[in-house]
Amino acid sequence: MSVKLNVRQVGDVSVVDVAGRITLGEGSSALRDALRDMVTKGQKKILLNLGDVSYIDSSGIGELVSGFTSVTNSGGQLKLLNLTKRVQDLLQITKLYTVFDVHDSEVSAIRSFQ
């Protein structure tokens, strides 16, 4: 299975439920397209729910960084929710864990957006 994305609106926060593999090719380009689309539409509060992401490679990590940068540059906020241990380990190894605002509760994540 590659990646599946579902965007739902909770108040003014766009929650993106991501499932599957974010790897070079279909997976990373689907995430890139979804984030680009939301930035283009002016969505400023984006929460990526990675709870069902089974695998992410360096390309996928690059897409998270790219998405974070483009959302931030457009005046918005991108936060992460429900990291699996595998994804959390990768973000810690690459020291990106300190860059992202990471939450393990959707309620508190949504409340944290200003």
Least distance from another protein to the Cβ atom of residue 11, Å: 29
Least distance from another protein to the Cβ atom of residue 1, Å: 12
Least distance from another protein to the Cβ atom of residue 85, Å: 10
What one-character-per-residue DSSP string does 32-77 give?
A: HHHHHHHHHTT--EEEEEEEEEEEE-HHHHHHHHHHHHHHHHTT-E
User: Are the CB atoms for 61 and 83 separated by under 8 Å?
Assistant: no
Task: Return the closest-CA partner of residue 5 out of 25, 32, 24, 45.
Answer: 32
Judged by beta carbon, residue 70 or residue 112, the one nearer another protein is 70
Other C-beta atoms lying within 10 Å of the C-beta of residue 54: 13
Residues of this chain that bind another protein (CB under 8 A): 23-25, 57-59, 61-63, 65-66, 68-69, 86, 90, 93-96, 99
- Which residue bears the tokens 């739902």? 8
Least distance from another protein to the Cβ atom of residue 28, Å: 10
